């Protein structure tokens, strides 16, 4: 009978213990799990209560068989009476504690009913990563929240990196599964990347792609307004206004062929160059959009390009050349000053032949307009040829034509006179030709350096100088002199002069050129 009672007692005790264990497990499962940081806040706000159960997770700070503390937590944990804490699997492992807050020796302690030891957080992260759904972005974000909370609280660099990894995987997965890829959805991802404190390179990746999407849409329209995009690029992509130090033709070619992929793989330094290339493409398109089809405003376009995109100077020069070419082909539409400006531009570009061509074409085109004004128009045309081309022959020809139409015009007569022309027998001829026609044979011979019969001794000396030898012969009231010019063995000139009366001058009566 005694043995039977002992057996019944043992069974009852085991049942009570099992019931207590199951009851404790149920209570623990029903109690919210608090990360130690959350429990600390309850302590700070004095919102913990005696005889209330708490379930807390944290990293072990110190542990003895009868006492346990957590990192960055002032709460002390004691085992239940007659129990001790087991050995954790890791030196700095994580523990999950369930117990009741009680007063022991006038101190608030949590008497632990159950305890679970875990590996350290880095290992737990890897285990959680293996268990999540790889194609579900929210699972990655939740893993990042779990790791991020612990990384911040414990100032854990490893977990910080894991947080970035999980958030990066989550946001990249979200990008791949976007139902509608447009600037709005991509900028929303950029904002989310910033909110998640991901590296700025990830945020910029979405910002860049958003603006590339906008650019592609703008290019499909006839005359897009690019101001908003240009403003956004200046505000959101660093380096867009910084000129590239050297030409980057290969980088430009590669980037334009596949901008999103090239940008994703580029480092920070390369990305700044890509920002400039992107901005330059948009700005250049915006500027060229205002160009006239025939290039007539090429200089204005070129000036804007040189001012904002100096690395595109060659293109600016092509714009200037195109305007000059267009203006030269439409020279008849230019004013005089516009023509002169065009000619000056050609000269400054070392193209004097083009400058002359511009002037000649303009004069030829405007001559017909001047002719419509009659004699005065011809006078104007003549002055233009003389002033612009120094073409006196053409100018005089037009003035003569004008005179025939209006011989009474004092202005035409005055202008021809200023040009050293004289009216001779109804024709305007150079003043020199008039003098030649009116001069005597002696005047002509003197001008030509010859001695002829009838010249006085003074005139002979004026042409030939002092004679080499002079022979005088006097007969019957007349005096003859024989002037010889030239040494022996050379061609000599002999001038025979005669004075018929004492008061008359010596006059050449014969000129001979003889050889000794």
At residue 15, the 3 state secondary structure works out as helix
Are 242 and 203 in contact, with CB atoms under 8 Å apart? no
CA 342 – CA 327 distance, rounded (Å): 8
CA 320 – CA 300 distance, rounded (Å): 8
CA 281 – CA 408 distance, rounded (Å): 67
Q: Of the residues 384, 406, 438, which one is the last residue of a structural domain? A: 438
List all residues 6 or more positions away from 429 whose beta carbon is below 8 Å from its beta carbon: 421, 422
**Residue 380 in domain:** yes
Q: Of the residues 386, 406, 438, which one is the last residue of a structural domain? A: 438
- Judge if 481 and 510 occupy the same domain: yes
Q: What is the pLDDT of residue 438?
A: 61
- Judge if 448 and 432 occupy the same domain: no
**Residue 151 in domain:** no
Q: 492-499 and 94-104: which strand pairing? A: unpaired
List all residues 6 or more positions away from 464 whose beta carbon is below 8 Å from its beta carbon: 451, 485, 493, 495
CA 159 – CA 147 distance, rounded (Å): 6
**Residue 274 in domain:** no
* pTM of model > 0.75: no
**Residue 283 in domain:** no
- Judge if 386 and 445 occupy the same domain: no
Range of the domain at 77: 31-119
**Residue 360 in domain:** no
- Judge if 45 and 113 occupy the same domain: yes
The CATH code of the domain that includes 97 is: 2.40.50.140
- Judge if 100 and 52 occupy the same domain: yes
Question: CB atoms < 10 A from the CB of 259, how many?
Answer: 19
Q: Of the residues 419, 438, 457, which one is the last residue of a structural domain? A: 438
**Residue 82 in domain:** yes
- Judge if 471 and 433 occupy the same domain: no
**Residue 98 in domain:** yes
Q: What is the pLDDT of residue 477?
A: 77
Give the count of domains, the chain: 3
Q: How many CA atoms lie within 13 A of 462 on its CB side?
A: 12
- Judge if 431 and 447 occupy the same domain: no
The CATH code of the domain that includes 456 is: 3.30.1450.10
At residue 100, the 3 state secondary structure works out as strand
Q: 33-35 and 53-64: which strand pairing? A: parallel
- pLDDT averaged over consecutive 10-residue blocks of the chain (516 residues)? 47 40 64 95 95 96 90 95 78 88 95 92 93 91 96 96 96 94 96 96 97 95 92 96 90 96 96 97 94 87 93 92 91 92 93 93 90 92 90 91 91 90 84 70 85 88 88 85 78 87 86 72
- Cite the beta strand spans of 67-203 per DSSP E: 67-70, 76-79, 94-104, 107-118
Q: What is the pLDDT of residue 9?
A: 42
- DSSP 8-state code for residue 456: B
**Residue 416 in domain:** yes
Are 359 and 341 in contact, with CB atoms under 8 Å apart? no
Q: What is the pLDDT of residue 262?
A: 97
């Amino acid at each position: 009978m005694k043995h039977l009672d002992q057996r019944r007692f043992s069974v009852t005790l085991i049942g009570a213990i099992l019931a207590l264990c199951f009851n404790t497990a149920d209570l623990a499962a029903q109690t919210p799990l608090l990360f130690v940081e959350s429990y600390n806040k309850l302590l700070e706000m004095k919102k913990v209560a005696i005889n209330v159960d708490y379930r807390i997770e944290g990293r072990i700070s110190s542990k003895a068989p009868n006492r346990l503390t957590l990192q960055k937590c002032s709460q002390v944990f004691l085992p239940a009476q007659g129990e001790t804490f087991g050995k954790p699997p890791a030196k700095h492992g994580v523990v999950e504690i369930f117990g009741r807050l009680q007063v022991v020796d006038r101190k608030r302690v949590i008497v632990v009913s159950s305890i679970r030891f875990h590996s350290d957080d880095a290992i737990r992260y890897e285990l959680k990563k293996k268990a999540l759904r790889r194609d579900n972005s929210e699972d990655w974000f939740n893993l990042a929240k779990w790791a991020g909370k612990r990384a911040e609280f414990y100032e854990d660099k490893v977990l910080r990196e894991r947080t970035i990894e999980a958030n990066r995987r989550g946001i990249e997965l979200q990008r791949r599964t976007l139902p509608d890829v447009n600037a709005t959805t991509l900028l929303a991802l950029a904002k989310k990347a910033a909110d998640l404190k991901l590296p700025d390179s990830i945020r910029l990746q979405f910002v860049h792609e958003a603006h590339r999407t906008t650019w592609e849409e703008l290019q499909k329209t006839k005359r897009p307004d690019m101001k908003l995009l240009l403003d956004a690029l200046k505000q959101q992509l660093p380096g867009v206004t910084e000129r590239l130090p050297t030409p980057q033709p290969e980088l430009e070619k590669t980037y334009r062929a596949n901008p999103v992929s090239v940008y994703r793989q580029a480092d920070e330094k390369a990305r700044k160059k890509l920002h400039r290339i992107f901005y330059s493409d948009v700005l250049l398109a915006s500027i060229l959009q205002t160009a006239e089809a025939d290039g007539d405003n090429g200089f204005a376009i070129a000036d804007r390009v040189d001012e904002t995109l100096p690395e595109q100077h060659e293109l600016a020069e092509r714009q200037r050349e195109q305007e000059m070419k267009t203006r030269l082909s439409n020279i008849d539409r230019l004013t005089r000053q516009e023509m002169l400006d065009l000619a000056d531009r050609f000269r400054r570009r070392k193209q004097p032949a083009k400058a002359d061509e511009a002037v000649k074409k303009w004069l030829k085109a405007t001559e017909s307009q001047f002719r419509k004004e009659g004699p005065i128009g011809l006078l104007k045309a003549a002055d233009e040829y003389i002033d612009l081309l120094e073409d006196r022959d053409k100018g005089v020809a037009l003035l003569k034509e004008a005179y025939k139409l209006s011989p009474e015009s004092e202005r035409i007569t005055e202008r021809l006179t200023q040009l050293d022309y004289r009216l001779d027998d109804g024709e305007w001829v150079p003043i020199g030709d008039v003098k030649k026609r009116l001069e005597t044979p002696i005047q002509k011979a003197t001008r030509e350096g010859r001695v002829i019969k009838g010249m006085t001794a003074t005139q002979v000396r004026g042409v030939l100088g002092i004679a080499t030898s002079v022979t005088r012969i006097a007969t019957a009231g007349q005096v003859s002199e024989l002037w010889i010019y030239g040494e022996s063995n050379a061609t000599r000139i002999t001038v025979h002069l005669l004075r018929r009366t004492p008061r008359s001058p010596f006059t050449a009566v014969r000129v001979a050129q003889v050889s000794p």
